[in-house]
Structure 1
Amino acid sequence: MQQINEILKVIDSYIGSSEWFVYLLLGVGLFFTLYLGFPQLRYLRYAIQIVKGKFDREGDIGDTSHFQALATALSGTVGTGNIAGVAYAVYLGGPAALFWMLVTALIGMTTKFVEVTLSHKYREIASDGMVSGGPMYFMKKRLDIKMPSGKVLKTGKIMAIIFAAATVFSSFGTGSLPQINSISNSISATFGIPHIITGLVLAILLAFVIIGGIKRIASITSKLVPTMAIIYFIGAIAVIMYNYENILPSLKSVFADVFTGSAATGGFLGATIIFAFKRGVNRGLFSNEAGQGSAPIAHSAARAHEPVSEGLVALLEPFIDTIIICTLTGLVLLSSGVWTEKHMNNFQYAELSVIEGLYSDTDPAEREMLGNHVNGIQNLPLYTGVLNVVDGQVTDKVSFIHSRSLAEKVKLYKKQQLYSGSIKVNNGIVDSESGVIFKGKSLLHSAPLTTIAFTRSWFGNFGKYIVSIGLLLFAFSTAISWSYYGSRAIVYLFGVNAVKYYRIVYVLGFFIASFTDTEIIWTLSGITIALMTIPNLIGIFALHKEMRLEVKKFWGEYAKRFPNDRLPFFERK
C-alpha cells in the first residue's frame, strides 16, 4: 500500500498538486469573471428566481426540474469535501488554506456558470430516451480544428474521449471511494461498527438507488440535501457559538496567515505559503468541483429551453457548498482548537515514517527542523534497519512522524497484545506485512478531526453523532450523484448496454473502499480530478466568445418576457 501510495503521489505532483494546475484552474475562472463582468455577483438574485421556476416555459425538454438538477449537483459536491476535505486542507496548510478554498469558490461560481451553460446547449437525447450532456458533447461538436489546407483535425473528439474516460475514473476517485471511506471511518469511530459492515450495508442501498436512474436519484437527493444541510448547520453553529471567544481570532488567522504561512502551534508543525495555497485550491476544487466538468452532466438533464438559465442555477452551487458550508466547517475546526491537538489513534502505514534520532516539538530549534521536514523543505535522515520492540515499546533512538506531526506515546500491538520482537524499516518506511499495529498520539485529519471538533459544544459527545449522520447523508448522496455522472460517460464511450456493468463495478469499488487506506484514497482522488478538469478548462476557454454571445441572447429574451424587471448592471440599455 505504501509503495502504491508513493507512486500515486509522484503522479499527482505533476498534475493535481502541481503549481501549473492551480494557476490554470484559477486563471480560467478569473478570466471569465472579468470577461463576463463578475456574473457571480451581478446574477445571483436572478439565479434564485430561476430555481423557483420563473423562466420556465411550457414544453421545456429535460428529465428534472431546476431545483432537482441543483439538488443532484449539490449532492455530488456537498459531501466529504465539506466535512473531511476542509479538515484535510486545514491539517495540511493551516488556517490560510481555508482562505484559498473560499477564493477558489468565488471564482468557481463563474467557472460553473460557464461550463454548465455550454454543456446544456450541446446536450443530446441518448438511445435510452434520457437526456445526456456534459463537456464531452460540446468538445465533440465544437473543438475540432480546421487547418488552412481545409483538413479538419478531430481534436474535439479526442478531448471528449479523454474527458469521458476521466469522468469514469473520477466517479470512483471522487464519488465512490473517498465517500464510503470517510463514512466508514466516522461510523467506526462513533459507533464502533466495523468498516466492512458499514460498506456492505451502504453498497446494497447504493445499488438499489442507482438502478432507478436520474429520476429516482433526483427524487432522493432533492430530499436528502435540505435535510442534511439543516442537521449540519445546527451542529456547526452550536460549536462556533460555544467557543465564541475564538471566533474573531479564528477569522483573523484565516486572513493573517495568507502571506506569511501558518506558524507552528501545538502539534501542528507549520505550513508554508505555497503549501497552503496549493492545498486550499486543491481541496476547494474537490469540494465544489467548479471547473471539473461534473455538475454539467446533472444540469444537462434539467428542463430548460435556454442554456444560460441553467448556468445561472449552477452558479449557486459553489456559493452554497464552499462559501457557506465549508466556512462553517472551517470555523468549527479553528474555534474549537482541535486542529492543533494530538489525539490517540491507530496509525496508518501510508502516513507513518521513521526518522533517525530523538526529537522534541517543544524545543524551538528541533520544532523548526521537524516543520521543514514535513513541508518538504529540508528532510531529516530516514531510518533504515531493524526496530527492536519490548512490550510494545521501541528501544532504538528513533522518532515517528505520523500525520505530519511528531507522534507521542507510541506503542506497538499485534493481535491486540503488546508486541515484543523486531520490525523492518527501509528508508523510513515500516514493513506493513508484519501485522503490527502502531498506536499513539498524533494530529488527526479528515472526518475524525471534524468529529472531535463537533464534541466541543453544548451537545458534548452527542456532537459526534451529528457529524456521523451528516457525513453519512452528505457522502452517500455524493456517491449516488457520481454514479450518474459515470454512467452518462459510459453511455458516451460504449453505449447504453455497458451501463449495467459499470454499475456493478461502481458498487463493488464502493464496498472495497470502506476498509482501504485513507491516504491512498485521497491521493487517487486528486489525480482523477485533475484528469477531468484540464480538458474541460481548455474547452470552455476555447469557446469564450460563444459564451458571451449566449449570455447576450439570454438577457435579450429575459427583457422581452419580463419588461418590468430591472436587468443586471451592464445588461441594461
Structure 2
Amino acid sequence: MDNLTSVLGDISGVVWGPFILIPLLLGTGLYLTIRLGGLQFRALGRSLRHAFVDSDEDESPGDISNYQALTTALAATVGTGNIVGVATAIAVGGPGALFWIWVTGLVGMASKYTEAYLGVRFRVTDSSGRQLGGPQIYLRRGIPGGTGKVLAFLFALFATFASFGIGNMTQANSVAAGVEDTFGLDPVATGVIMFIGVGAVLLGGIQAIGRITSAFVPMMVVIYIGTGIIVLALMADQIPAALAMVFTDAFTGSSAAGGFLGATIMMVVRYGVARGIFSNESGMGSAAIAAAAAKTSHPARQALVSMTQTFIDTLIVVTITGLVIVTSGVWQQGEDTAATMTGAGFAEALPGDWGSTIVSVSLIFFAFSTIIGWSYYGERSLISLVGEWASIPYRMVFTVVVFIGSVSEIQLAWTFSDLANGLMALPNLIGLLILSGLVARETKQYLQFDPKLDKPKASVQEFIRQQQMDWR
C-alpha cells in the first residue's frame, strides 16, 4: 500500500507539476477571462442577484431550480478542501499559498462560467426525462470528430473514479474523524449513520439532492463565515502583518519557522493552485453536471449563477479559513497538524473549546454535503459511459464506499484524489479552450440583449429563435 501511494504520488507530482496542469489551469482561466472581457468582475453583482433574489426561472426547462443547482454545486465543493485542504496548502507551501488560491479562484470564475454555459448549452434529455449534461456531453457534442469523443470518454472515466476519492472516501473519513474528536463516537458508528443517511438521500435522485442542499448548505456556510469573521475581528491587529506575509511569500517562498520546514516558490504555487482547485473545482468540469440540470431560459443565465459558486467558495470561505490560520500563527505547527490546524486557529480567539467544536461541526456538514453532491456527478458520468442501467448499482456501491471511507486510513485516498482531479481536469480544460469562441460569442450576444437578466421567458425564447440557436 505504501508503494502504491508513493507511485501515485509521483504521478500526481508530474500532473500537478510546473509543465502540465498548473500552467494549463491558470492559463485557461486567464485566457477565458480575457476572451469574456472580465465577465466575472463586470457581472458578479447581477449574478448574485439572479442566484439569490430572482425566481423567474421556475417554469423553464430543467429538473431543479437554478438556486438548487447552485447549492448542489456548492455542496460538492464546500467540503474538506475549505478547511483541511487550505490548512494543508499553507502548512506545506507557507502563507503565500493563500495568494495562489485566490488567483486560482479569480481566473477560475471564468472557467466555471464557461463550463456551466457549455453544460446547459449542450445538455440532452435522457430516457427517463431528466437532463444529462456536463463535460462528458459537451465535449462529445460540441467538438466534432474523434477528438471530442475521446475527451468526453476520458473525462467521464476519471470523474467516475474521482467521485469515490474527492467526493466520498476523503470526505467520509473527515466526518468520522471530526465526530470522534468532538463527540467521542466510534468511526464504525459514524460510518453506519452516514451509510443510512447518504443512502436515503440518493434514493430520491437529483430532486432530493437539490432539496437537501438548498436547505442546509446556506445555513452551514453562514455559520462558518460568521464565526470566522468574529475570530478575525478579535485578532484584527494581526491581520495587516498576515496579509503582508501572504503577498510576500507568494513570490519568495517561506523560511522555516516553528514546525514549518520552509517552502520554495514552486511549492507555494503548486500547493496553492492544487488546493485551490480542490476547493472550488473550477476547470474540473464537475459543477457543469449540476448546472445542466437547472431550470433556466438561457445557458448564460445559469452560467452566471454557477460562477458565483467559485466566488463564495474561494474568495469568501477559503479566505476566512486561510486568514485565521495565518493570523493566529498555527500554520507554523507543521504538515502533521493540518487536520486540526483550522480548529486550533479558531481556538486562539474563542474561549474554551468553542473554536475547535464549531470547526469540527462545520467540517462534518461540509464533508457530508460534498458526498451528496459528488454522488450525482459520479452517477451522471458513469451513465454517459455505460448507460442508465448503472444508476442504481452506482448508488449502492457509492453508499457502501462511504462506510469504508469512514473506517479506513486515507493517505492513499488523498493521493488518489489529487491525481484523479488532475486527470479529469485535463480533457475538460482542452475542451474549454476549443469551445471558448462559441461561449464568448453567444454570451456577448445574450448580454447585449438582456444586460440586467430581467427579460421575460417569452422574450428570451424569441431571442433564441432569432439567433437560430439549437437549444431548448
Shorter-chain TM range is over 0.9
The answer to whether structure 1 residue 501 and structure 2 residue 393 are counterparts is yes
Quick one: distance in 2 between partners of 1:225 and 1:232? Answer: 11
Q: Please show how residues 54-93 of structure 1 align to structure 2 within 5 Å.
A: 54=54, 56=56, 59-93=59-93
Structure 1 residues without counterparts, runs of 5 or longer? 146-153, 343-402, 404-442, 564-573
Please say if residues 293 and 533 of structure 1, whose CA atoms lie closer than 8 Å, have aligned partners that are also in contact: yes
Which residue of 432, 436, 444 maps to 2:337? 444
Query: Percent identity, aligned pairs only?
Result: 41
Distance 1:2 1:36, change over 3 A: same
Paired residues for 1:359-370 under 5 Å: none
Q: How does 1:26-65 map to 2 (within 5 A)?
A: 26-52=26-52, 54=54, 56=56, 59-65=59-65
Task: Pick one of 331, 344, 361 that aligns with 1:469.
Answer: 361
Give 1:433's aligned residue. Answer: none
Query: Structure 2 CA distance, aligned partners of 1:245 and 1:559?
Result: 42
* Contact in 2 for aligned 1:16/1:529 (Cα 8 Å): no
Aligned CA distance change for structure 1 residues 561 and 220 (closer, same or farther; 3 Å):
closer
SS at match of 1:268: coil
Please, which of 315, 320, 326 is the counterpart of residue 328 of structure 1?
320
Q: Which residue of 2 aligns with 1:558?
A: 450
Q: Distance in 1 between the 2:55 and 2:30 partners? A: 28
What letter is aligned with 1:298?
A
Structure 1 CA distance, aligned partners of 2:316 and 2:57? Answer: 31
- Contact 1:118–1:547 (8 Å) recurs in 2: yes
What is the TM-score normalised by the length of structure 2?
A: 0.93
Q: Which structure would you say has the larger RCO, counting Cα contacts within 8 Å and 6 or more residues apart?
A: 2
**CA displacement at 1:20 relative to structure 2:** 1.9
Q: 1:494 to 1:247 in 2, by over 3 A?
A: same
- Judging by fraction of residues, say which structure has more strand: 1
Kept after mapping to 2: 8 A contact 1:53/1:66: no
Distance in 1 of aligned mates of 2:4 and 2:228: 36
SS of residue matched to 2:450: helix
User: Secondary structure at 1:258's aligned position in 2?
Assistant: helix
Tell me if 1:529 matches 2:421.
yes
**Contact 1:12-1:18 within 8 A present in 2 as well:** no
Q: 1:107 to 1:323 in 2, by over 3 A?
A: same
Query: What CA RMSD, in Å, does the superposition of the two structures yield over aligned residues?
Result: 1.8
Q: Encode CA deviations 1:56-108: one digit per residue, 9 max, x unaligned.
A: 45741001111111111111111111111110111110100011000000000
Amino acid at match of 1:244: A
Looking at structure 2, the residues matched to 17 and 460 of structure 1 have their Cα atoms a distance apart, in angstroms, of 42
**Shift of the alpha carbon at 1:560?**
10
> Superposed, which structure 2 residues align to 1:146-545 within 5 Å?
154-341=146-333, 403=335, 443-446=336-339, 448-545=340-437
Q: Which residue of 1 aligns with 2:466?
A: none
User: Which amino acid counterpart does residue 156 of structure 1 have in structure 2?
Assistant: G
Higher helix share: 2
**Alpha-carbon spacing, 1:496–1:562, altered in 2? closer, same or farther (3 Å):** closer
CA distance in 1, matches of 2:333, 2:52: 45
CA displacement at 1:462 relative to structure 2: 2.1
1:134 aligns with 2:126: no
Please list the CA deviations of residues 161-187 of structure 1 after superposition, one character each: whole Å capped at 9, or x if unmatched: 111111111111211011112112222
What does residue 25 of structure 1 align with? Answer: 25
Q: Determine if contact 1:17/1:282 at 8 Å carries over to the other structure.
A: no
Letter in 1 for 2:149: K
Greater CA drift, 450-459 or 21-30: 450-459
Instruction: Give yes or no for contact 2:46–2:453 (8 Å, CA) kept in 1.
Output: no
Amino acid at match of 1:62: G
Q: Is the 8 A contact 2:46 2:452 kept in 1?
A: no
Is residue 96 of structure 2 the alignment partner of residue 104 of structure 1? no
Shift of 1:288: 0.3
Aligned residues: 455
Structure 2 alignment gaps of length 5 or more? 456-472
Given the superposition, is the C-alpha separation of residues 477 and 326 from structure 1 closer, same or farther in structure 2, using an over 3 Å criterion? same
- Cα deviations by residue, 1:406-428 (Å, 9 ceiling, x for unpaired): xxxxxxxxxxxxxxxxxxxxxxx
| Distance change >3 Å, CA 498–CA 461, structure 1 → 2 | same
The DSSP-based 3-state class of the residue aligned with 2:347 is: coil
Question: Could you tell me how far apart the structure 1 residues matched to 2:337 and 2:366 are?
Answer: 21
CA drift at 1:52 = 4.3
Local SS of the residue matching 1:197? helix
- 1: distance between equivalents of 2:70 and 2:58? 20
Q: Are the counterparts in 1 of residues 114 and 432 from structure 2 also a CA contact under 8 Å?
A: yes
Matched, 1:123 2:115: no
Q: Is the 8 A contact 1:239 1:457 kept in 2?
A: yes
In structure 1, distance between residues paired with 2:140 and 2:256: 50
Task: Determine if contact 1:134/1:294 at 8 Å carries over to the other structure.
Answer: yes
1:442-471 residue CA offsets vs partner (Å, 9 max, x unmatched): x4113x222222222233212221111111
Compute the displacement of 1:236 (Å). 1.6
Q: Quote the offset at 1:48 in angstroms.
A: 2.0
1:54 Cα deviation after fit: 4.5
Closer, same or farther in 2 for the Cα pair 1:19/1:63, shift >3 Å?
Answer: same
Q: Structure 1 residues 198, 556: CA separation in 2 closer, same or farther (over 3 Å shift)?
A: same
Distance in 1 (CA, whole Å) between partners of 2:97 and 2:44 is 26
Could you report, residue by residue, the CA deviation over 1:264-286 in whole angstroms, capped at 9, with x for unpaired residues?
11111111111010110000000
1:235 Cα shift?
Answer: 2.4
3-state SS, counterpart of residue 251 of structure 2: coil
Contact 2:120-2:288 within 8 A present in 1 as well: yes
Aligned CA distance change for structure 1 residues 200 and 121 (closer, same or farther; 3 Å): same
